[in-house]
Structure 1
């Protein structure tokens, strides 16, 4: 009987620890400024946003909508946060809501991607 209680206790601890360890995924839409109409295919900005943001720990998916001038990002909240993602976008040369693009990164964008 004592062994059964111990096994049940260990099992319950395992289940509760597993529940807390599960990742929490969120999706957010970030307003940006995109000035070309071919950003998804553009050699500099399309890959720059997708590949650059996917290198950010915790970012799982990036969808660029150049018409709405938004970047939809799905990320694991246990590995990153919204401020880190916005900073990463800024360092790629793009505005991210209230965070302005890093000037050096912005200057390295193609002319079609600038205002």
Structure 2
């Protein structure tokens, strides 16, 4: 009789413990710091440049959004400062083949750009207007 009561009591405690655990709400993961914005002047001049730069920046760690304003050649990046920095973002622009502020594009990446996106194109030198 005591064995049956012990078995029943053990099952009841186990079931109660599992039900209690199942009803606890999951703890929300803390989001790190808020996003910041970074702007960099690029050598990009067309919609192909815009697509290329925005896509490349989307693959960078910590980048939430990147938008190139083609007429002003300014790339605005929303990023998480706990994941990346303005220096790393500037380097990413250079690795894509474009100048970043006063820093020249990485040569190998620049050489892979389509001719219309290169600085030697007439639109860059003022001959296309």
TM-score by length of 2: 0.64
Match of 1:78 among 79, 82, 106: 82
Give every structure 1 segment of 4 or more consecutive aligned residues whose post-TM-superposition deviation is greater than 3 Å: none
What runs of 5+ residues in structure 1 fail to find an aligned partner?
1-17
Counterpart Cα distance in 2 of 1:73 and 1:99: 17
CA distance in 2, matches of 1:22, 1:34: 32
Q: Distance in 1 between matches of 2:103 and 2:34?
A: 25
Structure with larger RCO (C-alpha < 8 A, sep 6+)? 1
Match of residue 14 from structure 1 = none
Residue ranges of structure 2 left out of the alignment (5+ in a row): 1-29, 120-129
Matched residue, 1:97: 101
* Contact kept? 1:49, 1:89, Cα under 8 Å: yes
CA RMSD of aligned residues (A): 1.7
C-alpha separation in 2, matches of 1:48 and 1:65: 13
What is the Cα deviation at residue 22 of structure 1? 3.0
Structure 1 residue matching 2:90: 3-state secondary structure:
helix
SS of the aligned residue for 2:51 comes to: helix
Compare CA radii of gyration and give the structure with the larger one. 2
The within-5 A match list for 1:30-109 is 30-35=40-45, 39-40=46-47, 42=48, 45-109=49-113
